[in-house]
């Protein structure tokens, strides 16, 4: 019994990945020069087709079930697939996920089975393969569950299958870049009206972290229109959308003509906006160029070159503050790691804006100097010319970028009464963007 289980576990290791995962971590690899496409590729830009290509899923017919049996002592269902691989499913999990109308509210695709009614030590009475290759389980109380093989295959517990499934759901693979990046570029109107173009836009936004859209009407309201393409925008104290202009008595350093050093927006919130849109309505004649850097890439370089600085910035929580009046009056305080990692040690968010970093520094005296030295090391790294991409927006350009990953800034500009620089901005969150991405993927590729 045990050797059979062991064999099955190792077999399960060859479960075919649901989609191809392209590793991008730590590499400066960029897609090859694209073939001519419908979208014009201005100098220094790449089309979306290539930027998104690596993220396209591989679709293939799943194998059928050759054989189903129970391993009663381990309380596992073992399925042998027609391709020779096999998968294991715990009895408890199967009972918990019974798809029958009693256990699942079909209209919401949600579990209606209560945990109070789940026997977490359940056995199985019998397992059968139906004529149309469904797996039916009869439970000791004679309740019966029927499972679709494709549904089961997607939920295989092998580490490889789980990893492939998580990548399909969350698209966590990133392609790191430096100053040689050609920013993926698409047509604003196409993204609004064509599902394929919209999907390519969001895939590239996730993977590369920045996508340039050209040809937006030169009037306010376009960032809101683009937000509606996804779902809805993120309201903050700066309003539904906000106007980046040189304003008297500015309530934010962005609303001046001064230089903005590389920063993420809104680390004064504990949940900063995930995605930012900026639409150029008027550009300064002199200055006002935009700068972006790949904060994840820079964090990985720091981790490699100066592990102590990385440890400091990813372990100390820093106070941020933002006070004023805009949409309404506000007095915001947060504590954030400058480099946020998830439980697996992956960098998942950068929180850094030197303007809103609080003078309150909540750490023991002996940590203060190491903190400053570490922050200096990270900022010096990200300001190296070989890491920074510089571009100047023109009226009708709309840049979309990952505010959890990129740091952005701008050069100072000459404020000029005849040609007032004016950008309109809006925020969204990644949950809503990823939701739209999954729906578009289903619409374009016909996936489940």
Residues that bind Zn ion (CB under 5 A): 98, 100, 102-103
CB 260, min distance to Zn ion, A: 57
d(CA 65, CA 137): 14
Nearer to Zn ion, 100 or 355 (CB): 100
CB 146, min distance to Zn ion, A: 9
CB 269, min distance to Zn ion, A: 43
Nearer to Zn ion, 137 or 309 (CB): 137
The DSSP output letter for 116 is G
CB 223, min distance to Zn ion, A: 47
Q: Which two tokens stand for residue 418?
A: 């005849």
CB 172, min distance to Zn ion, A: 33
Residue among 324, 333, 322, 325 nearest 356 (CA): 322
Instruction: Quote the longest CA-to-CA distance of the chain.
Output: 83
Nearer to Zn ion, 113 or 363 (CB): 113
Nearer to Zn ion, 146 or 194 (CB): 146
d(CA 145, CA 134): 10
- H or E stretch at 184: strand 183-187
Burial of residue 415, with CB atoms counted within 10 A of its CB: 0-12 exposed, 13-18 middle, 19 or more buried = middle
Residue among 57, 297, 69, 45 nearest 184 (CA): 45
CB 136, min distance to Zn ion, A: 11
CB 80, min distance to Zn ion, A: 25
Burial of residue 67, with CB atoms counted within 10 A of its CB: 0-12 exposed, 13-18 middle, 19 or more buried = exposed
Q: Which two tokens stand for residue 274?
A: 């995930």
Nearer to Zn ion, 103 or 284 (CB): 103
- H or E stretch at 134: none
Q: Under a CB-based contact definition with an 8 Å cutoff, are residues 195 and 402 in contact?
A: no
Nearer to Zn ion, 98 or 316 (CB): 98
Nearer to Zn ion, 98 or 426 (CB): 98
- Beta strands 76-81 and 86-90, pairing class: antiparallel
């Amino acid at each position: 019994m045990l050797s059979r289980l062991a064999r099955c576990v190792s077999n399960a290791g060859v479960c075919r990945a649901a989609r191809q995962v392209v590793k991008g971590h730590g590499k400066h690899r960029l897609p090859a020069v694209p073939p001519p496409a419908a979208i014009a590729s201005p100098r220094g830009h790449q089309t979306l087709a290539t930027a998104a290509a690596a993220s396209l899923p591989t679709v293939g017919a799943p194998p059928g079930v050759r054989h189903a049996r129970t391993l009663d002592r381990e309380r596992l269902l073992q399925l042998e697939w027609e391709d020779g691989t096999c998968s294991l499913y715990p009895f408890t999990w199967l009972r918990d996920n019974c798809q029958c109308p009693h256990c699942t509210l079909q209209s919401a695709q949600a579990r209606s089975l209560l945990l109070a009614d789940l026997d977490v030590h359940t056995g199985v009475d019998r397992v059968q393969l139906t004529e149309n290759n469904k797996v039916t389980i009869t439970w000791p109380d004679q309740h019966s569950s029927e499972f679709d093989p494709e549904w089961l295959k997607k939920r295989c517990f092998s580490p490889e299958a789980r990893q492939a499934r998580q990548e399909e759901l969350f698209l966590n693979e990133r392609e790191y870049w430096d100053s040689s990046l050609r920013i993926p570029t698409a047509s604003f109107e196409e993204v609004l009206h064509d599902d394929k173009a919209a999907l390519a836009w969001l895939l590239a936004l996730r993977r590369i972290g920045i996508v340039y859209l050209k040809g937006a009407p030169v009037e306010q309201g376009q960032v809101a229109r683009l937000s509606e393409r996804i779902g809805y925008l993120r309201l903050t104290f700066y309003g539904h959308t906000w106007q980046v202009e040189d304003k008297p008595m500015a309530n934010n350093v962005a609303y001046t003509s001064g230089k903005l050093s590389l920063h993420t927006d809104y680390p004064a919130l504990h949940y900063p906006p995930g995605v930012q849109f900026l639409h150029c309505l008027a550009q300064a004649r002199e200055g006002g160029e935009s700068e972006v850097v790949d904060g994840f890439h820079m964090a990985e370089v720091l981790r490699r070159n100066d592990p102590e600085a990385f440890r400091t910035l990813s372990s100390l929580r820093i106070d941020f503050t933002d006070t004023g009046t805009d949409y309404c009056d506000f007095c915001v305080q947060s504590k954030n790691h400058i480099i946020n990692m998830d439980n697996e040690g992956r960098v998942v968010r950068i929180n850094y804006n030197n303007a809103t970093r609080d003078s309150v520094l909540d750490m023991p005296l002996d940590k203060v100097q190491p903190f400053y030295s570490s922050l200096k090391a990270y900022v010096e790294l990200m300001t190296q010319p070989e890491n920074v991409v510089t571009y100047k927006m023109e009226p009708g350009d709309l840049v979309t970028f990952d505010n959890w990953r990129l740091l952005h800034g701008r050069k100072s500009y000459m404020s000029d009464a005849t040609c007032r620089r004016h950008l309109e901005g809006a925020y969204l969150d990644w949950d809503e963007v990823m939701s739209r991405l999954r729906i578009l993927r289903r619409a374009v590729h016909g996936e489940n």
